[in-house]
Chain A
């Protein structure tokens, strides 16, 4: 099956500019996640969608970050205005529940979009 697609792979912007990232999850995966991975750290969840609804956006800096998944398939993550500390890899992941543990989800990650803010 095709994996999680993300674009662009790389983006360099100046602070206070805006940027948008796009994600297309694995076909049939209802749940979609955006993670931020700062260099030297593990991924940190920003927002989780179930179909086109937001399940958890408690760690999304809503003053500058926004995300949508209007048709319940692909998603966009936007940053406006960007700050230096937003430099990171933005990973999209999708999942479907496993059969072994009804509550457990196993994530499949895309390759990420690397953002550099100058």
Chain B
């Protein structure tokens, strides 16, 4: 099956700093999704990407669908304490949720 490598595994940043994380796949995807998971909760969708090269923003979050279709990036600008959580990428080669593969997550800690 598909393998997703998500990095970094964890990040400690100061409030106000920008954050970048990425995912790479061993195979081509046609859908990339980025989720955030708070402690004790399920993942919540942040951004969905459906086209190579697509750049989509959601407030201070911006995600890009890599042009090779094997990677995706998430940037968070001007981090705030509520950005703390685990960020997951997920990709599907067919667009079907049945083939959705999740990365192992990036644990983000925002220091005051």
Interfacial residues of chain A within 91-112, with CB under 8 A of chain B in the complex: 91, 93, 95, 98, 100-101, 103-112
On chain A, the residues within 8 Å of B4 by CB distance are 42
Assembly CA distance A40 to B98 (angstroms): 22
Q: Pick from A33, A45, A55 the residue with the most CB of B within 10 Å.
A: A45
**Band of interface residues on A:** 20 to 34
Report the minimum CB–CB distance from A11 to chain B (whole Å): 14
B45 interfacial contact with A, CB 8 Å: yes
Instruction: Select which of A95, A104, A112 is within 8 A of B42 by beta carbon.
Output: A112
Contact of A44 among B33, B102, B105 (CB under 8 A): B102
Q: Whole-angstrom distance between the alpha carbons of A50 and B43 in the complex?
A: 21
CB <8 Å contact, B95 and A104: yes
Give the residues in chain A near B92, CB-CB below 8 Å: 104
Please tell me if the beta carbons of A41 and B105 are within 8 angstroms of each other in the complex: yes
Contact across chains for A33 and B97 when beta carbons are under 8 A apart? yes
B104 touches A40 (CB 8 A): yes
Does any Cβ of A come within 8 Å of B13's Cβ? no
A 19-74 contacts with B by CB, 8 A: 31, 33, 40-45, 48, 55-56
> Can you name 14 extra interface pairs (CB under 8 A) apart from A33-B97, A95-B97, A106-B97?
A4-B42, A41-B102, A41-B104, A42-B6, A48-B97, A55-B98, A93-B42, A100-B50, A101-B31, A106-B48, A107-B100, A109-B43, A109-B44, A110-B42
